[in-house]
Every structure is written in structure tokens, then in C-alpha cells.
A = this chain, B = another copy of it.
């Protein structure tokens, strides 16, 4: 079950990266690289920072194949992807939940402090998009208006709260991802976003 969600999330992130790259009029190599870093960039940064090398996607080629598939689909259906907007958004939201959990898990595996684990969860879910935006020469969108990252942080706190009251592990994972997906849906439906900070 978790694997399928991971695949759907990776695919959605890859397609979203490919679309961003197409909007920047990149060539197919550029589109593929942007799809790739959007999908695995957050996890790669996490692995590098905690010293888990060779990084994840080098040890599990499935990620490469899924991203390749996402890239090909995005290239073929590029005119029609607007019709899949809702499915795409759903997969992307699933990715947000699943990637946060994977990051939390990797942090726990190397016995890091909960605060750092939450940072790793957020990084895994959000920093692929940050690297995508930097490669596309944009200020990362999650630094400006989307509450994307905040949801991961809230999810991470909830995760450790549930663990502290000794809920069974499966339930902790399920509840955390449901919470993240739920807040994300609410955020989009009700147009929640953080206010920007400005010096007057």
C-alpha cells in the first residue's frame, strides 16, 4: 500500500516538474532533469545531509523508471494535462503525505532528535520543489505563498505526539498522512496561505 502511494507521489512530482520545465521552454534533457530533481531532490538532499550514501535513487532504480514514465507521459500529453489537473493535484497531495513520513522515518533510523526528524520530513516533501525552482531561476514558490511546508511541520509534530501516546506504529503513520492530506485539501479549498512579511 505504502509503496503504491510512494509511486503515485513520485510520479506526480515528476509530472509537475516536467510541466514547470516546459513552461520555461527547456529541451527534453532539461525537462527530464527538472522532473527528476522535483521528484527525488528532497530525499537526495536529506540522504546527503544525514550521510546515507549512495543516495536513495541510486540504490533503487524503480524511482528512475517511474520518473522516466512520468516524463514520457508529460511529453506526450502535454496539451491535455490540464484535463488531469484534479488527479494530478490528488497524487501530489498523496506525495506530500508519503514523502513527509519517509523523511521522518529516515531521521528516526539514524537516531536524530524529533525536531531534526520533522525538518527531514519537511525537506523530503518540499525541497525537490525548491531545487526545481532554483534550476528554473525562480524564487522557490514555497518561500512565498504556499503553506505546503507548514503542513509538513504540523504533520511531523502530530506524528511525534501520536508516538508519545504509544499508538501502534501503523496507526501513527496512517493518521499522520491522513492529517497532512486533509489539511492540504482544506488549504486549497479555502485558499489558505501565509501572509508575506515585509519591512515597511
| Known A48-B48, A79-B199, A194-B27; contact A143-B58, beta-carbon cutoff 8 A | no
Query: Contacting A110 at CB < 8 Å: which of B22, B29, B54, B145?
Result: B54
Whether B51 contacts A51 by the Cβ 8 Å rule is yes
What is the number of residues of chain A that contact chain B, defined by CB distance less than 8 Å?
56
A112 at the interface (CB under 8 A from B): yes
> In the bound complex, how far is the Cα of B194 from the Cα of A25, in angstroms?
11
Query: Contacting A135 at CB < 8 Å: which of B27, B28, B143, B198?
Result: B143
| Known A54-B49, A58-B50; contact A197-B28, beta-carbon cutoff 8 A | yes
Whether A116 contacts B49 by the Cβ 8 Å rule is no
> In the bound complex, how far is the Cα of B197 from the Cα of A21, in angstroms?
8
Whether A23 contacts B199 by the Cβ 8 Å rule is yes
CB distance from A129 to the nearest CB of B (A): 12
Hey, which bits of chain A sit against chain B, CB under 8 A? Answer: 19, 21-31, 33-34, 44, 48-51, 53-55, 58, 61, 64, 75, 78-79, 110, 112-113, 115-116, 130, 134-140, 142-145, 147, 149-150, 193-200
Given contacts A28-B197, A30-B142, A30-B143, 10 further A-B contacts (CB under 8 A): A23-B199, A27-B144, A27-B196, A33-B143, A48-B53, A50-B54, A54-B110, A64-B115, A78-B199, A137-B138
